[in-house]
Amino acid sequence: MSYMLDEPKESPRGIAQIAAALSNALLGVVLIAAGLAGLVAIAVVALDIADQTWVSLGAQITAELGSDVATLLETFQIDIAVILTTLADQNNLPEFGAWVRQILALLMVAAVALGLAGAAPLWVARALWSRRSSRAVLLFGVALSAIGAFGLLVTGAPQLIWGLVLANGLLTLVASRTARPSA
Protein backbone atom coordinates (compact mmCIF):
# COMPACT_ATOMS: atom_id res chain seq x y z
CA MET A 1 0.00 0.00 0.00
CA SER A 2 1.15 3.41 -0.82
CA TYR A 3 0.57 6.04 1.79
CA MET A 4 1.47 8.70 -0.70
CA LEU A 5 -1.87 8.32 -2.46
CA ASP A 6 -3.95 8.61 0.71
CA GLU A 7 -5.69 11.88 1.32
CA PRO A 8 -3.94 14.12 3.78
CA LYS A 9 -5.31 13.85 7.29
CA GLU A 10 -6.63 16.98 8.92
CA SER A 11 -4.90 18.04 12.05
CA PRO A 12 -7.10 18.03 15.13
CA ARG A 13 -8.68 21.25 16.28
CA GLY A 14 -6.56 23.19 18.66
CA ILE A 15 -7.68 24.09 22.17
CA ALA A 16 -7.81 27.76 21.21
CA GLN A 17 -10.09 27.03 18.25
CA ILE A 18 -12.45 24.90 20.34
CA ALA A 19 -12.54 27.40 23.21
CA ALA A 20 -13.04 30.36 20.87
CA ALA A 21 -15.79 28.59 18.93
CA LEU A 22 -17.60 27.65 22.14
CA SER A 23 -17.22 31.09 23.74
CA ASN A 24 -18.44 32.84 20.60
CA ALA A 25 -21.38 30.44 20.28
CA LEU A 26 -22.28 31.05 23.92
CA LEU A 27 -21.99 34.81 23.43
CA GLY A 28 -24.27 34.66 20.40
CA VAL A 29 -26.89 32.56 22.18
CA VAL A 30 -26.82 34.84 25.24
CA LEU A 31 -27.20 37.98 23.10
CA ILE A 32 -30.12 36.52 21.16
CA ALA A 33 -31.78 35.28 24.37
CA ALA A 34 -31.31 38.68 26.02
CA GLY A 35 -32.81 40.42 22.99
CA LEU A 36 -35.83 38.10 22.99
CA ALA A 37 -36.30 38.44 26.76
CA GLY A 38 -36.11 42.22 26.39
CA LEU A 39 -38.77 42.20 23.68
CA VAL A 40 -41.09 40.05 25.81
CA ALA A 41 -40.56 42.30 28.85
CA ILE A 42 -41.26 45.39 26.74
CA ALA A 43 -44.47 43.84 25.40
CA VAL A 44 -45.64 42.98 28.93
CA VAL A 45 -44.92 46.49 30.20
CA ALA A 46 -46.57 48.06 27.15
CA LEU A 47 -49.74 46.04 27.74
CA ASP A 48 -49.66 46.84 31.46
CA ILE A 49 -49.50 50.62 30.96
CA ALA A 50 -51.79 50.81 27.93
CA ASP A 51 -54.56 52.66 29.81
CA GLN A 52 -52.45 54.21 32.57
CA THR A 53 -52.66 57.95 33.32
CA TRP A 54 -50.75 60.15 35.76
CA VAL A 55 -53.77 60.05 38.10
CA SER A 56 -54.14 56.26 37.98
CA LEU A 57 -50.38 55.92 38.48
CA GLY A 58 -50.60 58.10 41.60
CA ALA A 59 -53.51 56.02 42.90
CA GLN A 60 -51.54 52.81 42.25
CA ILE A 61 -48.48 54.15 44.06
CA THR A 62 -50.60 55.20 47.02
CA ALA A 63 -52.29 51.78 47.16
CA GLU A 64 -48.96 49.97 47.12
CA LEU A 65 -47.45 52.09 49.92
CA GLY A 66 -49.52 50.37 52.58
CA SER A 67 -52.21 51.59 54.94
CA ASP A 68 -49.83 53.22 57.45
CA VAL A 69 -48.15 55.39 54.84
CA ALA A 70 -51.48 56.15 53.12
CA THR A 71 -52.91 57.33 56.46
CA LEU A 72 -49.84 59.47 57.05
CA LEU A 73 -50.18 61.03 53.58
CA GLU A 74 -53.88 61.74 54.21
CA THR A 75 -53.02 63.37 57.54
CA PHE A 76 -50.81 65.90 55.78
CA GLN A 77 -53.23 66.13 52.81
CA ILE A 78 -50.67 64.81 50.36
CA ASP A 79 -52.14 63.30 47.18
CA ILE A 80 -49.55 61.60 44.99
CA ALA A 81 -51.89 61.60 41.98
CA VAL A 82 -52.22 65.40 42.17
CA ILE A 83 -48.46 65.79 42.58
CA LEU A 84 -47.73 63.63 39.52
CA THR A 85 -50.35 65.39 37.40
CA THR A 86 -49.05 68.83 38.43
CA LEU A 87 -45.43 67.88 37.69
CA ALA A 88 -46.41 66.46 34.29
CA ASP A 89 -48.33 69.64 33.42
CA GLN A 90 -45.52 71.93 34.59
CA ASN A 91 -42.92 70.02 32.56
CA ASN A 92 -45.14 69.66 29.47
CA LEU A 93 -44.94 65.87 29.62
CA PRO A 94 -47.37 63.93 27.46
CA GLU A 95 -49.89 61.59 29.07
CA PHE A 96 -48.17 58.84 31.04
CA GLY A 97 -49.02 55.95 28.68
CA ALA A 98 -47.81 57.79 25.58
CA TRP A 99 -44.66 58.98 27.33
CA VAL A 100 -43.70 55.50 28.51
CA ARG A 101 -44.50 53.97 25.11
CA GLN A 102 -41.98 56.34 23.52
CA ILE A 103 -39.31 55.17 25.96
CA LEU A 104 -40.33 51.54 25.35
CA ALA A 105 -39.99 52.07 21.59
CA LEU A 106 -36.39 53.17 22.11
CA LEU A 107 -35.74 50.14 24.32
CA MET A 108 -37.33 47.88 21.69
CA VAL A 109 -34.84 49.12 19.08
CA ALA A 110 -32.02 48.34 21.53
CA ALA A 111 -33.42 44.84 22.20
CA VAL A 112 -33.69 44.08 18.48
CA ALA A 113 -30.15 45.35 17.93
CA LEU A 114 -28.96 43.13 20.79
CA GLY A 115 -30.62 40.10 19.22
CA LEU A 116 -29.16 40.88 15.81
CA ALA A 117 -25.73 41.36 17.38
CA GLY A 118 -25.94 37.73 18.49
CA ALA A 119 -25.69 36.58 14.88
CA ALA A 120 -22.08 37.77 14.49
CA PRO A 121 -20.58 35.60 17.26
CA LEU A 122 -22.54 32.59 15.96
CA TRP A 123 -21.10 33.14 12.48
CA VAL A 124 -17.60 33.49 13.94
CA ALA A 125 -18.08 30.29 15.98
CA ARG A 126 -19.14 28.43 12.83
CA ALA A 127 -16.15 29.76 10.90
CA LEU A 128 -13.75 28.78 13.68
CA TRP A 129 -15.31 25.34 14.10
CA SER A 130 -15.02 24.62 10.38
CA ARG A 131 -11.38 25.74 10.63
CA ARG A 132 -11.89 28.44 8.04
CA SER A 133 -10.58 31.78 9.10
CA SER A 134 -11.15 35.00 7.27
CA ARG A 135 -10.31 38.63 7.68
CA ALA A 136 -13.81 39.18 9.10
CA VAL A 137 -13.14 36.71 11.94
CA LEU A 138 -9.86 38.50 12.65
CA LEU A 139 -11.61 41.89 12.64
CA PHE A 140 -14.32 40.55 14.95
CA GLY A 141 -11.61 39.45 17.40
CA VAL A 142 -9.97 42.88 17.18
CA ALA A 143 -13.31 44.66 17.72
CA LEU A 144 -14.27 42.45 20.66
CA SER A 145 -10.84 42.93 22.23
CA ALA A 146 -11.05 46.70 21.77
CA ILE A 147 -14.55 46.84 23.29
CA GLY A 148 -13.42 44.77 26.27
CA ALA A 149 -10.30 46.88 26.82
CA PHE A 150 -12.28 50.12 26.48
CA GLY A 151 -14.89 48.80 28.94
CA LEU A 152 -12.17 47.98 31.47
CA LEU A 153 -10.56 51.38 30.93
CA VAL A 154 -13.83 53.31 31.34
CA THR A 155 -14.96 51.43 34.46
CA GLY A 156 -11.54 51.93 36.02
CA ALA A 157 -11.74 48.66 37.91
CA PRO A 158 -11.77 45.01 37.03
CA GLN A 159 -15.27 44.17 35.84
CA LEU A 160 -16.18 40.57 35.11
CA ILE A 161 -18.24 41.36 32.00
CA TRP A 162 -15.54 43.48 30.34
CA GLY A 163 -12.86 40.96 31.29
CA LEU A 164 -14.86 38.19 29.64
CA VAL A 165 -15.41 40.30 26.51
CA LEU A 166 -11.70 41.04 26.33
CA ALA A 167 -10.81 37.37 26.89
CA ASN A 168 -13.26 36.25 24.19
CA GLY A 169 -11.79 38.78 21.75
CA LEU A 170 -8.22 37.72 22.43
CA LEU A 171 -9.18 34.04 22.22
CA THR A 172 -10.86 34.70 18.86
CA LEU A 173 -7.71 36.47 17.65
CA VAL A 174 -5.49 33.54 18.65
CA ALA A 175 -7.87 30.97 17.15
CA SER A 176 -8.24 32.92 13.90
CA ARG A 177 -4.47 32.95 13.45
CA THR A 178 -4.24 29.16 13.90
CA ALA A 179 -7.08 28.32 11.47
CA ARG A 180 -6.52 27.93 7.75
CA PRO A 181 -7.30 31.02 5.72
CA SER A 182 -10.40 30.57 3.60
CA ALA A 183 -10.09 30.86 -0.12
Residue 90 domain flag: no
At residue 77, does pLDDT exceed 70? yes
Q: Which range marks the domain in which residue 125 is found?
A: 15-53+95-181
Residue 60 domain flag: no
Q: How many domains, in total, are found in the chain?
A: 1
Residue 81 domain flag: no
Residue 102 domain flag: yes
**Percent of the chain residues topping a pLDDT of 90:** 29
Residue 171 domain flag: yes
State pTM to two decimals: 0.68
Span 39-62, pLDDT tens digits: 899 888 888 887 788 888 888 888
SS3 139: helix
Residue 72 domain flag: no
**E-only strand ranges, the chain:** 132-133, 180-181
Residues 6+ apart with CB under 8 A from 13: 129, 131
Residue 47 domain flag: yes
SS3 148: helix
Residue 77 domain flag: no
Amino acid identity, position 159: Q
